[in-house]
Amino acid sequence: MVYLDSSLWFPDVSEATSDGVLALGGDLSVERLLLAYRSGIFPWYEEGQPIIWWSPNPRMVLFPNNLKVSKSLRQTLRSGKFRVTFNSCFPEVIAQCAAIQRPGQHGTWITPEMQRAYVTLHQRGFARSVEVWQDRELVGGIYGVDLAEKKVFCGESMFAKVSDASKVGFYHLVNRLRQEGYALIDCQVHTEHLQRLGASEIDRELFLSYLD
């Protein structure tokens, strides 16, 4: 296992374990995070652990044109019950993603250190958020790292306080990215929820080709 110091580098992703773990340590500086995401690597760890860097194979992605919209979601979209904004309150979205209770999950990997790092990325123009409002309450949202020069958006997390709120946000995010000519959305690892929305697994080498 590779242990990173203050030097700004990563081992080749081919050195990752079968689970996708590539390296430990380093920091969450803007420069290291951008190098990571541009290299197909992301941090994922819990409070009290060293920073763990991942590059799984296969990789879960969504090609914008493959978005699946269920009949019930279409009805929700037509109802107008939600209002959607972009980049209006990034810190609140990431804080809610950290605080939301998820079935089978104890605690959160979105530590205070992670929150500060991604807010800084946002302030520097390298991360964006989607906010979903019901009346004046923030009831859903998504945030991620924006590799605009690669036309790749790296989704990090989403939350919902009411049914369908995160799906509505995801729908509007995908539509916005499609309009902007993005090639794909990196969803990192497989979940059934993402699969139902149209995401699928591809080989890591194919994923990396979109970052070249």
Q: Which CATH architecture has domain 60-209?
A: 3-Layer(aba) Sandwich (3.40)
The full set of domain ranges for the chain reads 2-56, 60-209
- The per-residue pLDDT for 102 is 59
Confidence at residue 70, expressed as pLDDT on a 0 to 100 scale: 95
What pLDDT is recorded for position 103?
A: 57
* pLDDT per position as a tens digit, 46-75: 989 999 999 999 999 999 999 999 999 999
- Fold observed for domain 2-56: Alpha-Beta Plaits (3.30.70)
Query: What is the per-residue pLDDT across 139-160, written as a single tens digit (0 to 9) for each?
Result: 999 999 999 999 999 999 999 9
Give the three-class secondary structure for 131: strand
Produce one character per residue of 51-70: b if its CB has 16 or more CB atoms within 10 Å, e if not. Answer: bbbbbbbbbbbbbbeebeee
Question: What is this structure's pTM?
Answer: 0.95
pLDDT in tens, 83-138: 999 999 999 999 999 998 755 555 578 999 999 999 999 999 999 999 999 999 99
